Chain A
Amino acid sequence: MSEPGVVIVGAGHAGGSAAAFLRQYGFTGPLSLIGEEPLAPYQRPPLSKAWLKGEADAEALMLRPDSFYSENDIVLRLGVRAERIDRDARTVILSGGEAVPYATLILATGARARRIPLPGLDLGGVLALRTAADADQLKSALGPGRRLAVIGGGYIGLEAAASARALGAEAVVIEREPRVLARVACEALSTFFQDYHRKHGVHFILDAGVEGIVGGDGRAAAVKLAGGDLVEADAFLVGVGAVPNQELAVDAGLHCSDGIVVDLEARTSDPAIFAIGDCTRRPMPLYGARMHRLESVPNALEQAKQAASALTGRPAPAGEVPWFWSDQYDLKLQIAGLPFDAVQTVIRGDIAAAKFAVFHLDAEHRLQAVEAVNAPPEFMAGRLLIGQRKAVAPDKLRDMSISMKEVAA
């Protein structure tokens, strides 16, 4: 048995980054990274965007080249699943039965695509989009003359629809709510995105219940809507959110609540165990005592830095304003902050020209969140203002003759 060091479970964006930061910050002890997927850590965002459209290759997806791990003395064990944590013995038990000792354990198990109890989900042609393997399947199902039906109008579903159009396939998005992005964007933004997608030939079926997916010979042929209507397609993407992979932590008795609960050092209720990335529920220091689950690359990186800093005795990294981006067609959407306590929205710019931002203010006119479409100054200045928690006059935000530099000054 090797000397116990840092063991990271989950070789995704958070786990791979934590290993790199630990070495960058001078950690010289044994370091291993255990991942269930056959690939070294890679980036998921391009799976629904540049990669799906064929604009980025497999190599570009990789977070680091394979040689990076051996060069940095990181033991990378792929295609192995951690099955159980024995906290008393400080070991992780792998799928083969091997017990790996740890001094510190970092859980970076991410999230998985939510499965809804729908008849027909197991039919061939019904896909989810979380892993590179999922993306391979989806890509091979798209092309001219094909039709993609997306169940769920979230970011991943919309990005996949846009990429399908770019590949010459038809796309139809079926959404339960009266608007797409209902959980994650304001109404103005939802409406804008719907219109933009329609202009690019995407069809929407909103306010629609789905009864199941029907087909024959083991292959899916159509989505059956609540009213009985059938939406025929060749490929079916179910994109209805993600659930945190917290089972290892729950079974080990760590405090979990729809996500592994961590503090601002990314430490769980067991001081020898950290958790980072999509699998966590974390404090949101800019937003009072709230705990929240963030599913984004910036969050995975921030928490990877928190854990690596705590483990190497570096000062804690400065708190970041949570943010997110999405690319669809020629639109760059950048979102900063979360509109928890927002009571007022201010629109700046020209929605019809696809260049605008929606600001969300609280009762004291402090900026809570900004949603910016092709508007980097609004995003960048907004992110600063959210972090400063300063009040901003709504009239100033609205006034295009005042530059964002002046607004933020």
Chain B
Amino acid sequence: MAKITYIAHDGSSRTLEVKAGLTVMEGAVKNNVPGIDADCGGACACATCHVYVDEAWMDKVGAASAMEESMLDFAEGVKPNSRLSCQIKVTDALDGLVVTTPESQH
């Protein structure tokens, strides 16, 4: 289990307990967190699960794969802390993680 906080572009936020093994995207979708549509269900094919990872968590979350990088390259509003949330697996080490969803996904 890890507590994950999802912040919407307007500042509203929800903190949820997400089971280890699920992805950050699944934690959002299963709880109807707006702004993460995840059209492809986690196949790294759509970039509709784009989030900004809180700077303090960048190291713990790890690096994106080449496939993810090239999807992110073309995502709207991409920043250095952009990630596809379907490619971040939740572990106990991510307890407290904070991510923000981009405005374009609302």
Q: Which residues of A contact B (CB under 8 A)?
A: 20, 23-24, 43, 45-46, 60, 62-65, 68, 72, 297-298, 301, 323, 325, 327, 332, 334, 376-377, 380-381, 384, 404-405, 408
The answer to whether A72 touches B32, judged by C-beta atoms less than 8 angstroms apart, is yes
CA distance A72 to B33 in the complex (A): 12
The answer to whether B32 touches A325, judged by C-beta atoms less than 8 angstroms apart, is no
CA distance A45 to B31 in the complex (A): 21
The answer to whether A332 touches B32, judged by C-beta atoms less than 8 angstroms apart, is no
Interface size on B, residues (CB 8 A): 21
Q: Which residues of B contact A (CB under 8 A)?
A: 26, 29-32, 34, 37, 39-41, 43-47, 67, 70-71, 73-75
Per DSSP, are chain B's interface residues mostly helix, strand or loop, or mixed?
loop
The answer to whether A332 touches B43, judged by C-beta atoms less than 8 angstroms apart, is yes
User: What's the nearest-Cβ distance from chain A to residue B74, in Å?
Assistant: 3
Contacts A65-B30, A332-B44; A301 near B74 (Cβ below 8 A): no
Q: Which of A65, A297, A380, A404 has the most CB of B within 10 A?
A: A380
User: What's the nearest-Cβ distance from chain B to residue A296, in Å?
Assistant: 9
Using Cβ atoms and an 8 Å threshold, which residues of chain A touch B37? 301
Residue in chain A with minimal CB distance to B38: A301
The answer to whether A297 touches B67, judged by C-beta atoms less than 8 angstroms apart, is no
CA distance A63 to B39 in the complex (A): 11
The answer to whether A23 touches B43, judged by C-beta atoms less than 8 angstroms apart, is no
The answer to whether B71 touches A380, judged by C-beta atoms less than 8 angstroms apart, is yes
CA distance A263 to B74 in the complex (A): 30
Using Cβ atoms and an 8 Å threshold, which residues of chain B touch A404? 74
User: What's the nearest-Cβ distance from chain B to residue A322, in Å?
Assistant: 11
The answer to whether B47 touches A380, judged by C-beta atoms less than 8 angstroms apart, is yes
Question: Can you list 18 contacts pairing A with B, beta carbon distance less than 8 Å?
Answer: A20-B32, A24-B34, A43-B41, A45-B43, A63-B29, A68-B30, A297-B39, A298-B46, A301-B39, A323-B46, A325-B45, A325-B46, A376-B70, A376-B71, A377-B74, A380-B47, A380-B75, A405-B73
